[in-house]
Amino acid sequence: MRDSIVILGVFVADTSYRAERQPRIGETILGNSFVLGPGGKGSNQSVAAAMAGADVRFVTRLGRDAFAEIARATWAKAGVTADVTEDADSYTGAAYIFIEEATGNNAIIIAPGAAGRISVGDVEARAEAISSAAIFLTQLEQPMAAARRGLEIARAGGAITILNPAPAAAIAPEMLQLCDYVTPNESEAEGITGIAVRSIADAERAAGQLLEQGVGAAIITLGENGVLYRDRARCVHVPAAAAGPVVETTGAGDAFNGAFAAELARGADPVAAVRFGCAGAGISVTRPGTAPSMPSRSEVEAFLASGSFN
C-alpha cells in the first residue's frame, strides 16, 4: 500500500520581526522582538505532514551556508527525509516576516535563493520517488515549470496530486487539470478564477470555477472562517478550529496543507482530512513561528477527541 508523501518546495530561513506596525518607505521604527527560524511553504508543509505521522520526502535546493544547517536540523527533528541538491553558486533562501503585534497578522517578502533555481531536471531525477508516492504536494515558490513537471510525473504514476497555489500566480488550465486537489486561500482563489472571495458563498462560486477548469476538488482556506471543500459530488464548509488565543498566523496555511496531506495518505475521506487539517492549523496559530508551531499527530487527535471542534 502506498503511504508516502513527496513534497517539492522551498526552504527559507524566516527572519520574523514583531512591531506595532510596518515602517513606511524611508522610515525606521523600533520592533518588539526578533526570531530567526525555519520557513518556506514546502519545508513547513513537510514538517507539518511528518509531525502528523506521515512518511515524508522533501525535494529542494539549498546553498552551503549556516541557513542550510538550520534546514537540515529542522527536518531531522521532525523526521522528514531530505532530498537536497546543494547549490554552491547560490544561497539558502530567506524571508522577511513582519508580524503585527496586536493581531498576529503578517506580511512577507521571500528571497528563495538556491530553491529559486529548482529545475525540471531536479524533478525528473526524483521521478521514481514521485511516481511511487501516495501523494505529491507542491506550491509555487519554486519555478512553475518544476512544479508542473512534478505534477505530470505524479499523475502518470498514479499518485494523488495536491497543488497549493501560493504565492498567487496565473496558472494554465493544463496544469490545473493535473491536480486532484487545489488548496488556495481567498486571494489566491481570486487570482486564478477572477472571483473575489469575501464570503462562503463567494468561495463556493470560486470552487465551482476551479472544477470547471479541471481540478478534481477545490479546497479554499478562509482563515478564521474555516475551509470550503467542493468536488463534483459535495460542497462542505468546515469551520475553523479554535484551539486557543491566536499568537501568530504565519504558518497556518502550511499546517493545514501538511496535516491534510498526511491524513489523506492514511486513506481518510477528503472531508475528514480537511477537518484534520483545520485542527492542525487551529493548534499551530496558538504558537509562535512556522515549522516550530506544527502540532504532533497525538495533539491533533486529542483536540478532535475533546469535542472542542464541532
Active site residue 254: yes
β-strand pairing of 106-113 with 92-100: antiparallel
Q: One of 14, 55, 122, 254 is an active-site residue; which one?
A: 254
- Active-site residue list: 254
